[in-house]
């Protein structure tokens, strides 16, 4: 799952990238307001959640948040800041933050708040996705085929969900890579083919259709 971290403190940023990466999150890290605005304006980024520091260089986090909500984006935002006054918390929440965490904080608490926000977002976003005898539960990250649970890795699940979210639409390699990996992650040239191969092996060869020279789309319902 891809997160955007907006934090100018190198020590905190490196610690969060490492700690969240240990839990399987793919973290893209930017360090100032304009870089955050550019990342959030990228239609291919599809961040599941934003960790946003208030005190940023060049453009503060509150301004970034207000601009994001002005574009009617519903991506969850967890504001992280040293500002601990009640009035500051109210201002951040009123500007559109979904949660507010004061520095210093425990990594375990941050992870718990992230899980809570993601569960809340998943519950709002969609119910089960049904494709023939294939049932995908985005909230529990579970997949069933003909009533039997099938174990998928996080990236296999993410790829399947991306394809199911837009039936009939062909997704290019670049689009799938952007959905599954962070900016700073090294991506092997055949990684998408490998993930597709394992999904087909678990769910059936026809579940993902290759459109030669263009990309992939969800295939026939099993």
Delimit the domains of the chain by residue range: 2-124, 129-218
Quote the CA–CA distance of 91 and 63 in Å, as a whole number: 11
Per-residue pLDDT tens listing for the chain (222 residues): 889 999 999 999 999 999 999 988 889 999 999 999 999 988 667 798 999 999 999 999 999 999 999 988 889 999 999 998 999 999 999 999 999 999 999 999 999 999 999 888 776 655 678 899 999 887 777 899 999 999 999 889 989 988 998 888 899 998 888 888 766 666 778 899 999 999 999 999 999 999 998 999 999 887
Q: What is the pLDDT of residue 126?
A: 57
**Which CATH code is given to the segment(s) 2-124?**
3.40.50.2300
Quote the CA–CA distance of 97 and 50 in Å, as a whole number: 10
Transcribe 54-103 into DSSP letters. Answer: SS-SSS-HHHHHHHHHHTT----EEEEES---HHHHHHHHHTT-SEEEES
Q: What is the pLDDT of residue 95?
A: 94
Quote the CA–CA distance of 43 and 175 in Å, as a whole number: 10
Strand partners, 77: 50
Question: Looking at the domain covering 129-218, what would its CATH class be?
Answer: mainly alpha
DSSP three-state, residue 206:
helix
Q: What is the pLDDT of residue 221?
A: 82
Q: What is the pLDDT of residue 49?
A: 95
């Amino acid at each position: 799952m891809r997160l955007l971290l907006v934090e100018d403190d190198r020590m905190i940023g490196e610690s969060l990238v490492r700690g969240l990466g240990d839990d399987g999150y793919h973290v893209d890290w930017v360090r100032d307001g304009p870089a955050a605005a550019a990342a959030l304006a990228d239609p291919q980024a599809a961040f599941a959640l934003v960790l946003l520091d208030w005190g940023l260089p060049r453009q503060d986090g509150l301004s970034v948040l207000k601009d994001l909500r002005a574009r009617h984006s519903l991506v969850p935002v967890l504001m992280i800041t040293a500002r601990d006054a009640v009035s500051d918390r109210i201002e951040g929440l009123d500007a559109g933050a979904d949660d507010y965490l004061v520095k210093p904080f425990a990594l375990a608490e941050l992870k718990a708040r992230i899980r809570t926000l993601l569960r809340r977002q998943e519950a709002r976003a969609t119910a089960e996705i049904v494709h023939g005898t294939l049932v995908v539960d985005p909230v529990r990250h579970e997949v069933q085929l003909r009533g039997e649970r099938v174990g998928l890795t996080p990236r296999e699940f993410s790829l399947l969900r991306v394809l199911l979210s837009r039936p009939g639409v062909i997704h290019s390699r670049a689009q799938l890579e952007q959905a599954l990996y962070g900016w700073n992650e090294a991506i092997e040239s055949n990684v998408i083919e490998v993930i597709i191969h394992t999904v087909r092996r678990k769910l059936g060869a026809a579940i993902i259709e290759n459109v030669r020279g263009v990309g992939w789309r969800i295939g026939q319902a099993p």
